[in-house]
Chains A and B, each alone.
Chain A
Amino acid sequence: MDDDRELRKLYQRIRQADMAGVPSAGAVLDRRRGPRSLLWAWTAAAAAAVALVFWLTPPPTPGPVSLAEWRSPTAFLLESPSGSFVDGVPPLGRIPMESLQCESCF
Chain B
Amino acid sequence: MRWAEPRTPRMGQAELEDQIEQSHAAAFGWALSCCERRREEAQDVLQTVYFKILDGRAAYSGNSSFRTWLFSLIRITALDRRRSWFRRMARDGAVPLRLASADRESELIAAERSRAVEDALRLLSERQREVLHLAFYQEMTIEDAAEVMGVALGTARSHYERGKARLRELLADELGERT
Contacts and interface: CB of A to CB of B under 8 A. Distances in A.
Interface stretch (A16-24, A64-72, A79-87): A16-24
A36 B133 CA distance: 30
A101 B133 CA distance: 111
Contacts of A6: 168, 175, 178-179
Nearest to A13: B112
B179 A7 contact: no
A29 interface: yes
B24 A25 contact: yes
A14 B111 CA distance: 9
Contacts of A9: 178
A65 B134 CA distance: 74
Nearest to A34: B47
A18 B32 contact: yes
Contact of A17 (B28, B113, B133): B113
Interface of B: 20-21, 24-25, 28-29, 32, 39, 43-44, 46-48, 50-51, 54, 109, 111-113, 117, 132-133, 136-137, 164, 167-168, 171, 174-175, 178-179
Given A6-B179, A17-B109, A35-B51, 7 more contacts: A7-B168, A10-B174, A13-B113, A19-B29, A28-B47, A28-B50, A29-B47
